Structure formats: structure tokens, C-alpha cells
Amino acid sequence: MAVESADQPPIGAVVVALADQPLIGTQAVARLIAAYRVGATVAVAAYDGRPRNPVLLAREHWPEVIAMATGDQGARPFLRARPGLVTLVECADTGSPDDIDIPADLERAAGRLTT
């Protein structure tokens, strides 16, 4: 898991983004960091109110996230088990959380970049 390799002080938090979501805007990451700076310890990008990626996790939660992570679920079990910790950060105006899994997805994403 990504947080295991980041466990070097003075890193206080990590932002986990997925490689198959290239339309996530850099401003989404900036908004999560801004939420962290004002006290959020778990910040999740939301798109039209729906939680998606990226996700910011403060160091204090890493042991629990790692313990709960299985397979390709990443932090999802932790986020579902601890909803009271989650600060949703609206990011719909910064990009799109669409996954690129098949060639048709890539074509659709490319079309969004040129419009």
C-alpha cells in the first residue's frame, strides 16, 4: 500500500490518487491539502456530492488503513468503517473521476480533453 512507503517523517499525510483516473484535476489535490491544513484528517474528493478519488489520509490513520486494506480495495474499508472522520471536498468543477479501463473509456476521455 502507498502509505507504507511514505512512512518517513515529517510527512503528515498522503494523497492517494489512481493512475486510471487521468482527468482528476490538480486542483482536486490542492483542495484536499487545503482541507488538511484546516484540520481534516481524512479528506475525500466528491463529484456532485458523491465520494470518489483522490483521498487524503493523515499519518495518524495509516496503521488502521493498512490493517483494513485487502486486495485492490485500498482505503475503502477504512472509509466505510469510519465515516465520521471523512471530510467530503467538492471537486466536480476541477476535473472528472472517470476510470480508463477499456479503449472506449480512453476515447471518451480524449474527447473531453479536446472539447
Please write the tens of the pLDDT for every residue from 7-48. 566 889 999 998 889 889 899 999 999 999 999 999 999 999
Q: What is the pLDDT of residue 10?
A: 80
Burial track 24-39 (b if 16+ CB lie within 10 A, e otherwise): beeebbebbeebbeee
Please write the tens of the pLDDT for every residue from 72-97. 888 999 999 999 999 999 999 999 88
Residue whose C-alpha is closest to residue 78's, from 54, 62, 99, 60: 62
Q: Which residues contact 60 (CB under 8 A, 6 or more apart)?
A: 41
Structural element, H or E, at residue 109: helix 103-114
Please write the tens of the pLDDT for every residue from 60-78. 999 999 999 988 888 999 9
Q: What is the pLDDT of residue 67?
A: 94
Going by pLDDT thresholds of 50, 70 and 90, the confidence category of residue 52 is very high
Residue whose C-alpha is closest to residue 106's, from 17, 23, 42: 23
Domain assignment of residue 60, given as a range:
2-114
CATH number, domain containing residue 38: 3.90.550.10
Q: What is the pLDDT of residue 79?
A: 96
Backbone angles phi, psi at 90, to 5 degrees: -65, 130
Are residues 77 and 69 in contact, defined by beta-carbon separation less than 8 angstroms? yes
Query: What does the DSSP 8-state code read for residue 102?
Result: S
Higher-pLDDT residue of 102 and 61 is: 61
Are residues 12 and 60 in contact, defined by beta-carbon separation less than 8 angstroms? no
Q: How many domains does the chain have?
A: 1
Q: What is the pLDDT of residue 8?
A: 62
